[in-house]
Structure formats: structure tokens, C-alpha cells
Amino acid sequence: MAKKRPQTKATNPRTKAGATGVDEPVPVVGAREPCPCGSGRRYKACHGRAAAHAVTELVQRPFEGLPGECDWVALRELVPAATVELSLKGGLPEGVPSVTLATVLPMAWPALRRDDGSVLLGLQNDTPSGDLSRDLAGTLRRAFAAEPGTPVTASDQASDVRLQDLLDPDAVFEPTVHSGFEFWVPGSAENASPDVAASLERANAAAIPTAKLSGVDAAYWCETPEKNHLRWVMPHPEERLLDALARLHAAGVSSLGEGTRLVGSFRAHGLMVPVWDLPRSMGAEDCEKPAAEFAERLASALEIDTPLTPEERRARGGLTNRQVTLS
């Protein structure tokens, strides 16, 4: 849900009737320029009002409705280096052979139009509004218009579309997790400019080894100096998920095996992310079977709708007290 302020009712703020009678997006122009819809009013007093309102919206689940919402959240908050090929409604624009979502780009560029016309869209950048989906869609559109071989710089101008308007809702969202950021440079890192090479070296040095589990959705193993962790983005409503985790915790079956424990969770973009501590000896492959078994236990616990027992309420309180909000 988004926090909304009262606004005067107006004609659809995102479209205008084209010559064919089909609604088309109203382009963004200067605030004091005439609105492109032909109303005769200034843009800021007409369709620009909705665009300005979008800047102050707070959208709790910006990726809701997109394929792979949980993985979108994971790539935004958890995964250092990953890419996903994106599919657009109606196909790619002319001259754009591919669009790739990337966790991070060199020098924190919002997007990059490569020499061959392909587009890289950065996910982990700061954005100007409370709607990450709208900001990323605006960046993607500016990347389509950029000259090949140039990065796309940040902009505070509100977009009139969201990712949900641009991306194919039936496409599969399949992240590829990388050990480093060499995907920035086609061919070989030796082809990078000095600035990109320096950024690549810094990014690789800071990256935490991470792997995506293959047997369950949106679960990511990572290695840190003291211990390993499993962080699992889950789509279930928060209250229902907390109850289910509390039931498993009280029953002593919330871990992923010997030496592991459920230590808490955090919220990110409207979803919950339970976190387990793992021993240093437990790699990503070792998590596959325990995670699949836990998924079955969780599915059964989610089906229970009886009130929590006193012990389960205490377990739930402990989990809630160890919960933090990232975004």
C-alpha cells in the first residue's frame, strides 16, 4: 500500500488519446511548459500533478506483481553481484538487442547503454522517490534514449510509468549470481577504462561470496568471516509467517540441521526475510536438502489457524524482537 495525500480528481494522469484513439503515455516536460495532452494548462497543473505526487508516494512493495518479486528484493538488498535478462511487453525497442538487470554498475551508474545498444539497468542505487519501481522504469526509458556507449546519469524527474507497465508479466525471472563484477565489461576486464577498472577492483574486494539455492525459491547462502548465513525472502503475509515460524521454533524444528539456528528476520520492500546462522563448514550445496525439508514443514505450519499456545507466543515474541526493517 502507498501513503497517499488528497488530490483533485483529473483525467487519467498517465495517458492521452493518440491519433489512433489508443491511450498513449503523456511525456514529461518542464513544469511551466504547456501540458502535452493539449489541455492548455501548464504541465505542473495538469498531468504533471500526478508525476509530482508520485515523488512523495511511499510504496511498501514496489515489486509486487512482477515475476520473481522475492528475487527482486533479494537482488536489491542481499546479493552483491547478479544479473537477470529482462523481457518487455511488446518486445525490445529498435536498436536495443537486450536489457539486463544488474545489482550494481560501475561508479554506481543508474544504467548503461553499451556500444552495441544493449542496456544494463542498475538495481541497488539510491532513487529520488518513494516508489522504486517508478524510478527504475524512468531510468530504463532514459537508457533506451541514450546514445550507445554512454552511461545514464541520475534524474529527479518523476516517471509516468512503473516497471509493471514495461516488463512482460509472463516472463521468467531467473537471476544469475556471479562471483565478481566482470560482467560489467564485455569480453575481458582488460578492455575496461581506468575508471571502470578501479571501480571493478573495489567492488570485487567488497563482495561477499553468495550463492542462490536451486531447490527453493529466493533463498541465498552467503559466507562471512565468522560464520555463514542463509537469508530467505518469503512471499507470505507477515503475521501469518511469524505465526508459522513461531510454531516451528517452539517445536524445535526451525533450524536447518545441527549447528544451525533461526536467528531472526528483517523486512525489505514489504516482505519478510528469515535468517539462519550456519557453521563455516556448511556450504550452499549443504543447505539444499535441509532447506527443502524446512519448506515442507513451513507449508504445513502455514495451514494451521488455531491460536498460538503460550510457548508459541513466547517464541513469536522472541522472533519479533529480533526483527529489523531495511526498507
> Per residue of the chain (327 residues), what is the pLDDT tens digit?
344 333 333 334 444 444 333 344 555 566 667 777 777 777 667 776 665 554 556 899 999 999 999 999 999 999 999 999 999 999 999 999 999 999 999 989 999 999 999 999 999 998 888 999 999 999 999 999 999 999 999 888 889 999 999 999 999 999 999 999 999 988 766 667 888 888 888 999 989 999 999 999 999 999 998 899 999 999 999 999 999 999 999 999 999 999 999 999 999 999 999 999 999 999 999 999 999 999 999 999 999 999 999 999 999 999 998 888 776
Q: What pTM value is reported for the model? A: 0.81
Distance of alpha carbon 101 from alpha carbon 87, whole angstroms: 10
Would strands 82-86 and 15-17 be described as parallel, antiparallel, or unpaired? unpaired
Indicate left, alpha or beta for 152 from its phi (over 0: left) and psi (-120 to 50: alpha): beta
| pLDDT the model gives residue 307 | 97
Nearest CA to 80 out of 224, 192, 194 is that of 224
| pLDDT the model gives residue 26 | 55
| pLDDT the model gives residue 6 | 37
For residue 211, what are the CA distances in angstroms to 256, 278, 320?
A: 17, 14, 27
| pLDDT the model gives residue 41 | 77
In 12-159, the DSSP E strands lie at: 15-17, 23-25, 58-59, 82-86, 99-102, 111-113, 119-122, 150-152
| pLDDT the model gives residue 298 | 98
Compute the radius of gyration of the chain from its Cα atoms.
Answer: 22
| pLDDT the model gives residue 326 | 74
Distance of alpha carbon 164 from alpha carbon 162, whole angstroms: 5
Q: Are 134 and 53 in contact (CB under 8 A)?
A: no
| pLDDT the model gives residue 156 | 84
Distance of alpha carbon 224 from alpha carbon 228, whole angstroms: 6
Distance of alpha carbon 192 from alpha carbon 68, whole angstroms: 32
| pLDDT the model gives residue 44 | 63
Half-sphere exposure of 318 (CA within 13 A, CB side): 14
| pLDDT the model gives residue 31 | 61
Residue type, 197: A
Indicate left, alpha or beta for 321 from its phi (over 0: left) and psi (-120 to 50: alpha): alpha
List, as one string, the DSSP characters of 185-253.
SSS-GGGS-HHHHHHHHHHHHHPPPEEE-SSSTTEEEEE-SS-EEEEE-B-S-HHHHHHHHHHHHHTT-
Other CB atoms within a 10 A radius of the CB of residue 206 amount to 10
Distance of alpha carbon 54 from alpha carbon 40, whole angstroms: 22
| pLDDT the model gives residue 186 | 81
